[in-house]
Amino acid sequence: MFFNCGKWEKRKGHDILLEMFKQAFPNEKDVELWMMCSNPFLSPQTGFAKVAHEWERYYRSDPRVKLIDRVPTHAEVADIMSQTNCGVFPSRAEGWNLELLEMMSMGKDVITTNYSAHTEFCTADNAYLIEIENLEKAEDGLFFDGSSGEWASLEGKPFSQGVEYMRNFYEKWKKDANQYNTEGIKTAERLSWDRTAQHIEDTIYGNQG
């Protein structure tokens, strides 16, 4: 089971992830893609519910895709993540990418772009890194209009590399279904909530004193 978590958005790479999955596994029946991507900004209250339905309809075109609704607690999120094998996050830009780090904390392998905020903790030792060759206007026709800068382009080699990584993980999983991302666990331990809070506290009081 490959897993993606993060609100429906082009920035998250959702426009290419399904095709990446299908190219990696054109005929395999023993593979699934779990998408937990409810977007509160695409609701009837905001007037963009149709956009959310379009995302869902697109992903339902492959019966191997499982759409998971938003859940109310972090414990339930952890339970869902624990049932999967590899997180795949072909993101064009991120503020942090917490879901990726949460997958690491559970010893799951992760596939992601070597670009933007998560490069602060993603390395070749703890992640499959998709190399970015070019940037493009940050534009999706909804949240970004191109005036706010650029983000990673996923066309060409980055897309192909994402397909290759998904396939590589699958082949590795067939040989050892119980593998763990030990380096990812170490990374998540270093970036725990408690340690982060302590670092912030030390920095504040250090600056004051």
**Cα dihedral 104, 110, 115, 119 in deg (nearest 10):** 20
- Where exactly are the structural domains of the chain? 2-195
pLDDT of residue 209: 46
pLDDT of residue 148: 82
Q: Are 24 and 166 contacting, i.e. CB atoms less than 8 angstroms apart?
A: yes
pLDDT of residue 44: 79
Chunked mean pLDDT (size 10), the chain, 209 residues: 96 98 97 94 80 94 96 95 98 96 97 98 98 97 92 98 98 93 96 89 77
In angstroms, the CA 123 to CA 152 distance is: 18
Dihedral sign computed on CA atoms, order 55, 57, 58, 60: positive
pLDDT of residue 207: 59
In angstroms, the CA 46 to CA 182 distance is: 42
In angstroms, the CA 3 to CA 103 distance is: 9
pLDDT of residue 87: 98
pLDDT of residue 208: 52
Q: Under 8 Å CB-to-CB from 192, ≥6 apart: which residues?
A: none
> What number of residues does the chain have?
209
CATH number of 2-195: 3.40.50.2000
User: What are 190's two structure tokens?
Assistant: 């270093």
SS3 197: helix
Question: Closest by alpha carbon to 183, among 129, 117, 116, 115?
Answer: 129
In tens, the pLDDT along 73-121 reads 999 999 999 999 999 999 999 999 999 999 999 999 999 999 999 999 9
Question: Closest by alpha carbon to 36, among 99, 121, 90, 95?
Answer: 99
In angstroms, the CA 70 to CA 7 distance is: 10
Q: Are 33 and 21 contacting, i.e. CB atoms less than 8 angstroms apart?
A: yes
User: What are 88's two structure tokens?
Assistant: 């795949």
